Amino acid sequence: MAKPKVAFYWNASCGGCEEAVIDLAEDLLKVADAVDIVLWPVALDFKKKDVENLKDNEIVASFINGAVRTEEQKEMAELLRAKSQLVFAFGSCAHEGCIPGLANFTNREGIFERVYKTTESTKNPEGIFPKVKTKVPEGELTLPEFFDTVYTLDQTVEVDYYIPGCAPPPDIIMNAFTALLEGNLPEKGSVLSPNIALCDECDRNESKPEKLEIPEFNRVHQIEIDPEKCFLAQGIICMGISTRSGCGQRCINVNMPCRGCFGPLDGVKDFGLRTMAGIASIFALENEENLSEEDLSKLMDKLVDPAGLFYMYSLPSSILRRKRMEEK
């Protein structure tokens, strides 16, 4: 029997998702043995033509990481979708937009202006910006168009499964591969990690007060962080209350709070909103009745950059999507 055809591809990404696959080490060889890899720019020659020559649905599964922010990436995602029975959004960028998705707070013009003109080390008196087409003495050079907006994979093509995390840890990746090979995949649209909040399996759970309350907001650099005690009880925003588990508490292990790279639980449309609601429900509970509006707003002022914090990994996939573009 022919081995199932599988493709790996990257869009706008940092390379961490590739490192995550390489970190499978010996398990990677097992996977490579069981499948026929038809596309993997990291390991094999990029043969876009070969992919084009495949029949529709000939690839059993494509694993695509990275967000989509250039024309080239969009075309590649569409091509792989057409040729694949299943598409997996691999990692936080493809799943929710991740940190590079914070670029949706600005646009192409804003980025170009800063990067190529106003950065302190840049000397560009003529205001030169990169262009899609440039005439040079010897001919013409081209660059792919840079979009105003960062898109998740499922805003570009239909996605069947999501492998969460920035980057996804080895066991989550292997579980996904195994489920695919053994035909054990759950319902279409599933996120392939436990549908339990990180908070519920956190080692600090025991020290979590029965009635959790955030007395005031602190930032990680402002206080000594007790390594045994729940972050929220110390006034530090930890997104474990609304984040899916499966990461192995890797940030909490080194005494740093969760920032939500695994994304929301099933059925939650907007991760940031859900997290904010969760935080609001336990903020200044004890004192609420004694606090004036002014007192409350002073306390709230300490919660700086809420949008950047609560949507750190998920702005493109949120209901906000992006900052409103001004009409020209």
Contacts for 282-285: CB closer than 8 Å, 24+ residues apart: 282/212, 282/213, 282/214, 282/232, 283/213, 283/214, 284/213, 284/214, 284/215, 284/216, 285/211, 285/213
Report the 3 state secondary structure along 215-263.
CCCECCCCCCCCCCCCCHHHCECCHHHCEECCCCCCCHHHCCCCCCCCC
Min dist CB 182 to another protein, Å, is 26
Min dist CB 30 to another protein, Å, is 14
Q: Are 194 and 176 in contact (CB under 8 A)?
A: no
Lay out the site mask for another protein across 4-43 (x = CB under 8 A, - = otherwise): ------x-xxxxxxxxx-xx-x---------------xxx
Q: Nearest-CA neighbor of 43 among 6, 16, 8?
A: 8
Q: Are 319 and 269 in contact (CB under 8 A)?
A: yes
Measured between its terminal Cα atoms, the distance across the chain in Å is: 58
Q: Are 261 and 165 in contact (CB under 8 A)?
A: yes
- Asked if 116 interacts with another protein (CB under 8 A), we say yes
Q: Which stretch binds another protein (CB under 8 A): 179-187, 208-216, 272-280, 302-310?
A: 302-310
Q: Are 262 and 247 in contact (CB under 8 A)?
A: yes
Min dist CB 1 to another protein, Å, is 26
Tell me if residue 270 falls in helix, strand or coil: coil
Tell me the one-letter amino acid at 40.
Answer: W
Min dist CB 54 to another protein, Å, is 18
Q: Which stretch binds another protein (CB under 8 A): 99-107, 181-189, 238-246, 283-291?
A: 99-107
Site for another protein, residues 136 to 195, rule: CB under 8 A: 136-139, 141, 143-144, 146, 166-167
- Please select the residue that binds another protein; options are 30, 46, 209, 280, rule is CB under 8 A: 46
Min dist CB 225 to another protein, Å, is 7
Lay out the site mask for another protein across 222-251 (x = CB under 8 A, - = otherwise): xxxx-x----------------------xx
- Please select the residue that binds another protein; options are 35, 102, 185, 282, rule is CB under 8 A: 102
Lay out the site mask for another protein across 190-219 (x = CB under 8 A, - = otherwise): -----------------------------x
Site for another protein, residues 79 to 98, rule: CB under 8 A: 98
